[in-house]
């Protein structure tokens, strides 16, 4: 993984929705916003960005409360973070950007696609649910999460160590713990999306899922595929939630965006 102080792309900040969003920009062409998973940061895409930046102008963001983007509230929600993305695009004058979202990034993209159906020219929803399942909540509890707090002692040691380095805005383990409590509350909050919400989505949408995702059933991805009017479905074989970023799995995503993004390149002021 490329460290946060890597200078292959300049770290930038833009004021949007009341927070300073940290981002990096790569490549040229049609704008593509990349949204990372929960508890990660934009550097989690270090190995994937070169593939996408060959074809698109990539904006990799740190979501609210993650990496170097400070959360000015004491809560997190997918609608709040979707509003951040809308404000980010407006601040940089990006017209109908494409959105690549994985895990929490996919949940943000889904909320955005439902509430702002004309905002994006194409959405990729990676490892994304529109209704949380009992298996999903069981998985969270096995990691030490409850709706109100998280038992850091139950977490994988490598994950706990990663949190401290991935989010330098938190000075100590107590602050990291408060952040993880916000994450737990986010992950346990029911989505409450309806079938009609999905039917109202207007952007082309790629539903991108591994076939061995714990708590994220392929059957729900198929349901989403049937409900979203312009949906396409890509199931990656022999892939768990964190293992489907190999080039062979990303190829269909690049091809999806290339088919749907044939506008002129955008320039920010």
Per-residue pLDDT, 259: 95
CB 29 within 8 A of CB 38: no
**pLDDT tens track for 229-256:** 999 999 999 998 877 777 789 999 999 9
What is the spatial distance between Cα 182 and Cα 180, in angstroms, rounded to a whole number? 5
Per-residue pLDDT, 191: 95
pTM, to two decimals: 0.93
Per-residue pLDDT, 243: 76
Stretches where the chain sits below pLDDT 70 are 1-8, 263-269
- Domain positions in the chain are 12-130+196-260
CATH code for the part of the protein at 12-130+196-260: 3.40.50.1820
Per-residue pLDDT, 245: 79
Per-residue pLDDT, 4: 40
Per-residue pLDDT, 8: 63
Per-residue pLDDT, 1: 36
CB 37 within 8 A of CB 102: yes
Contacts of 229 by beta carbon, 8 Å cutoff, 6+ apart? 199, 201, 202
- Kindly report the number of other CB atoms within 10 A of residue 210's CB atom: 23
Identify the residue whose tokens are 């102008």: 57
Smallest CA-to-CA distance from 172 within 187, 188, 152, 186 is with 152
């Amino acid at each position: 993984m490329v460290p946060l102080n890597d200078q292959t792309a300049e770290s930038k900040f833009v004021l949007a929705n009341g927070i300073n969003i940290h981002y990096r920009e790569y490549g040229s062409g049609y704008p593509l916003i990349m949204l990372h998973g929960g508890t990660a940061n934009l550097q989690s895409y270090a190995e994937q960005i070169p593939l996408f930046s060959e074809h698109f102008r990539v904006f990799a963001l740190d979501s609210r409360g993650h990496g170097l983007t400070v959360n000015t509230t004491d809560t997190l929600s997918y609608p709040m973070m979707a509003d951040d993305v809308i404000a980010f695009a407006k601040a940089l004058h990006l017209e109908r950007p494409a959105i690549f979202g994985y895990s929490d990034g996919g949940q943000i993209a889904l909320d955005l696609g439902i509430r702002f159906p004309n905002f994006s020219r194409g959405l990729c929803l990676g490892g994304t649910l529109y209704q949380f399942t009992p298996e999903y909540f069981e998985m969270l509890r096995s990691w030490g999460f409850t709706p109100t707090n998280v038992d850091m002692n139950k977490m994988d040691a490598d994950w706990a160590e990663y949190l401290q380095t991935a989010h330098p805005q938190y000075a100590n383990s107590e602050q990291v713990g408060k952040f993880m409590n916000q994450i737990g509350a986010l992950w346990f909050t029911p989505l409450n999306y309806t079938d009609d919400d999905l039917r109202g989505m207007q952007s082309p949408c790629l539903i991108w899922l591994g076939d061995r995702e714990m708590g994220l059933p392929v059957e729900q991805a198929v349901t989403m595929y049937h409900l979203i009017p312009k949906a396409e479905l890509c199931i990656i074989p022999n892939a768990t939630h964190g293992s489907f970023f190999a080039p062979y799995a990303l190829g269909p995503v690049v091809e999806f965006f290339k088919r749907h993004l044939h506008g002129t390149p955008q320039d920010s002021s």
